[in-house]
Amino acid sequence: MTSTFTNPSPFPLGRPNDAYAKYFEGQSHLASLGGDGNVSVSNVTFEAGCTNHWHIHHNATQVLIAVGGRGYCQFEGEPVRQLRPGDVVVVPPETKHWHGASPNEPFAHVAVMVRQEGASNEWLEPVDTEKYRQLR
């Protein structure tokens, strides 16, 4: 299926993120921007209304650099944070969090993952739909 929305990022849209689709509500796209075995750099684009599920990066730090549109990120137990181009979020290892687009606007971020030995992702429950829909 071809997407009809406008890419909010100066980086490539990439392909539909089918490999991780079961961990997202809505459509996301993934474009690798480079990296090696210890560091990966990707542009992740979320169509309006798309979020990933709560998740934890074990033994890995993630840096999110907002590059287009409007999105959100939340660490467990903290308020939701709105993200606009130029905002940076550092997600420490072992931090339960989610991120994604606003309910009515697409969003893109460059994700930089710095992995340590034994790194893994633990995917958890979807974001609460009612609370998410209240975000503006």
Dihedral of alpha carbons 11, 75, 128, 98, sign: positive
Point out the residues of the chain with pLDDT beneath 70. 1-4
Query: Can you spell out the DSSP letters for 44-82?
Result: EEE-TT-EEPPEEEEEEEEEEEEEEE-EEEEETTS--EE
Question: 9 in a domain, yes or no?
Answer: no
For residues 133 and 72, give the distance between their C-alpha atoms in angstroms, rounded to a whole number.
12
Question: 2 in a domain, yes or no?
Answer: no
Q: Which residue type is seen at 30? A: L
Give me the number of domains the chain comprises.
1
pLDDT given at position 3: 53
Q: Which CATH number fits the domain that encloses residue 77?
A: 2.60.120.10
pLDDT given at position 35: 86
Q: Which residue type is seen at 106? A: P
Question: 1 in a domain, yes or no?
Answer: no
pLDDT given at position 1: 42
Per-residue pLDDT tens over the stretch 28-65: 999 999 988 789 999 999 999 999 999 999 999 999 99
Range of the domain at 112: 15-133
